[in-house]
Amino acid sequence: MGKPQMGSHEFTVPTQSCADVAPLPAERQNAEQAEATPSRPPPSSSDWRDSYRDVIRVREFQALWFAHALSMTGSYLLNIAVTVLVYQQTASALAAGVTLALTFLPQVVGGPLLSGLADLYPRRRVIIVSDVLRAVLIVAVGIPGLPIWAIWLLLFLSILPMVPFTAARAALLAEIVQGECYIAGSAIINMTSQAGTLVGLAAGGWVIATVGPNSAVMYNGLTFLIASAIVRLGVRPRPAPLGGGEESPTLWQVTRDGTRLVFQDPRLRTLGLFAWLASFYMVPYGLANPLVDEVGGGPTAAGMIMAGPSMGAMLGGFVLTRLISPDVRMRLIGPLAVIASVPLLLWLLHPPIWAMVALLVVSGMAASYQFVANAAFVLCVPAEGRGLAFGLVAAGLQAAQGIGIALGSLLAESAGTHAVVAVAGVLGIAGAAALAIPWSRLYAGAVTLMHQHEPAE
């Protein structure tokens, strides 16, 4: 297959060693050097085993990583605090459920519409503006006495900037480091997100109980201001990938061409569908409370079930990206995607709570293939279209997870939770197998595409 195309432009995917900073287009280098001096990582070995050490030594990555950790921690605390705030005002489980659903909806709606901003504007600027907007809107959510409809509206608007933020962060990381260093950096950020989930589950309730939900929400806005300042000071400016020229495309053109690129290229399409398989093996996460209720467990047990996939993903992600060679891990995406849903079949045996948690840890370990598939997807997309392409797949993942959990909850009312989880496992295995077969033919081409060099412009 030839090089991926977007509209009338032809792009190739840049790659560099861990020791180098991603080059800017030749005609813009002088202007950018006058504005900021690139951060140079220290010399490193070309051995892929050194990629973790090398990427952590890159100062721009350190800034992006720390800012991401703050933003994700703020997002988790926001979700918990606003849900508690609404429930305290209404005493309605339905209102609290709607509030939680609103934390997913903006990413589903905004993904196809706003991700292209990360390609039209400088990605560093998109990240900073997104965090500042979120800070202002989140502080407004915490104002005492707001009606519920106003809280919901402000919450929806406060999460919308997360769409271009996430797309810009993934694409900017590929400009800072590439090749094996990008895979290591992406894995570190993903594992940080999983750790943030665990911290949020463990500490969110304590923070809210200490300062109250309104204050927790308002103080939470500060995390986004701090994160934006870190990016402003720690990441150098870069030009917009597509914007700034006399014939800059519109947001609609970027969205249209990016969608065609993702779904017409078999490698990108397959990697994107691998991501959406989470809709099957995350069903137990959405059914955590009824699962533990059936065996006499309480909120702590439900929290352990919800934390199981994250614990497994952290362990599996480290092993997969740190101890397994690049070609082997790419080849393992298909088999691991199948294995991720296998533990769900054992729900037919009505396992005790400790066994449920253990099974979900195993599932999460296998599901860490997502770290590799995520990084491979970004590196296979042309540099000028990475923001939109990543945003489209991320929006699809949010929608798939939401639909999977919603359908699982609905069917559990009539068929029982254990049967629903087992059926989700069967469907997940079938879907993964259907993707693993073509991936066994496509992965070698994807590896080649990831490591092509960008020609001078």
Q: Would you list the DSSP string of 179-230?
A: HHHHHHHHHHHHHHHHHHHHHHHHHHHHHHHHH-HHHHHHHHHHHHHHHHHH
Using an 8 Å Cβ cutoff, are 14 and 453 in contact?
yes
pLDDT at 49: 66
Q: What is the mean pLDDT of residues 282-294?
A: 81
| Assigned token pair, 28 | 């813009």
pLDDT at 341: 95
Q: Quick one: pLDDT band at residue 251, thresholds 50, 70, 90? A: low
Of residues 23 and 59, the one with the higher pLDDT is 59
Instruction: Let me know how long the chain is.
Output: 457
pLDDT tens string 163-173: 888 888 888 88
Using an 8 Å Cβ cutoff, are 18 and 54 in contact?
yes
3-class SS of residue 118: helix
d(CA 193, CA 184): 14
- Most confident listed range (88-97, 219-228, 331-340, 365-374): 331-340
Q: Quick one: pLDDT band at residue 20, thresholds 50, 70, 90? A: very low
pLDDT tens string 43-61: 344 466 677 788 888 899 9
Delineate the domains of the chain, giving CATH numbers in brackets. Answer: 11-31+40-450 (1.20.1250.20)
**CA 277 distance to own-chain centroid:** 14
State the DSSP code for 381: S
Residue 261, phi then psi, degrees to nearest 5: -60, -50
Q: What is the mean pLDDT of residues 201-216?
A: 75
Inform me whether the pLDDT recorded for 328 exceeds 80. yes
Sign of CA dihedral 250, 399, 129, 179: negative
For residue 98, how many other CB atoms are within 10 A of its CB?
Answer: 16
pLDDT at 301: 78
User: What is the percent of the chain where pLDDT is above 70?
Assistant: 80
Report the greatest alpha carbon distance in the chain: 67
Rg from Cα positions in the chain = 22
Of residues 442 and 363, the one with the higher pLDDT is 363
Q: What is the mean pLDDT of residues 275-297?
A: 83
Considering the chain, what is the average pLDDT of its residues?
A: 78
Element (H, E) at 6: strand 5-6
| Assigned token pair, 120 | 């039209």
In 3D space, the residue among 436, 1, 5 whose CA is nearest the CA of residue 262 turns out to be 5
Of 97-101, 210-214, 401-405, the least confident: 97-101
Inform me whether the pLDDT recorded for 241 exceeds 90. no
Burial class (CB in 10 A: 0-12, 13-18, 19+), 456: exposed
Element (H, E) at 279: helix 278-281
Of 75-79, 183-187, 375-379, the least confident: 75-79
User: What is the percent of the chain where pLDDT is above 90?
Assistant: 21
Sign of CA dihedral 427, 431, 434, 440: negative
Q: How far is CA 124 from CA 69, 121, 131, 269, 376, in A?
A: 16, 9, 11, 27, 22
Q: What is the mean pLDDT of residues 237-256?
A: 68
pLDDT at 97: 62
Residue 5, phi then psi, degrees to nearest 5: -125, 150
| Assigned token pair, 356 | 């449920």
Please enumerate in sequence order all residues whose Cβ is within 8 A of that of 63, keeping only pairs 6 or more positions apart, or say none. Answer: 230, 231, 233, 234, 235
Q: Quick one: pLDDT band at residue 361, thresholds 50, 70, 90? A: very high
Of 183-192, 392-401, 446-455, the least confident: 446-455
Q: What is the mean pLDDT of residues 62-85?
A: 81
